[in-house]
Amino acid sequence: MSFVASKLGLIKVNINPGYVERELEYCINKVGCKASANPDLPVAIFYTLGTTGHSKAATLTHFGIVNMSKGVTEHLEPYFTRLCTPIPIFHIFAEVVGVLNVATSKCQIVFPAIIT
């Protein structure tokens, strides 16, 4: 989804699916996005946990995401063929370090089963 949104010049907003109605409403109303393909403009918005109040929007640019992924790949690629991502995909770490790095480093991604 991130790759498609980026290719279309859209900003993908990741929101915790566990949010209750008022939290979802806050996040949806807070974000006003416009399409862009400029490396300095936003490509994704992730909402923080909001432990001290409302969730806060963390905006990532094309440049920032690609640089983060490139840096991790350059340092870790020689050491892994599989990457376990136990963090939900709506987290920045799982999305960028997990999914994007797997695509750029050609390693396998593993999502653990949900423990009930």
Contact between 55 and 92 (Cβ < 8 Å):
no
Note the pLDDT of residue 30: 79
- Confirm whether 85 is domain-assigned: yes
- Confirm whether 115 is domain-assigned: no
Counted domains in the chain: 1
Write the pLDDT tens digit of every residue in 31-63.
765 554 566 777 788 887 777 888 888 888 878
What would the mean pLDDT of 10-27 be, rounded to a whole number? Answer: 76
Note the pLDDT of residue 2: 64
**60 burial via Cβ count (<10 Å: 0-12, 13-18, 19+):** buried
- Confirm whether 116 is domain-assigned: no
What would the mean pLDDT of 11-19 be, rounded to a whole number? Answer: 73
- Confirm whether 92 is domain-assigned: yes
Portion of the chain with pLDDT greater than 90, in percent: 0
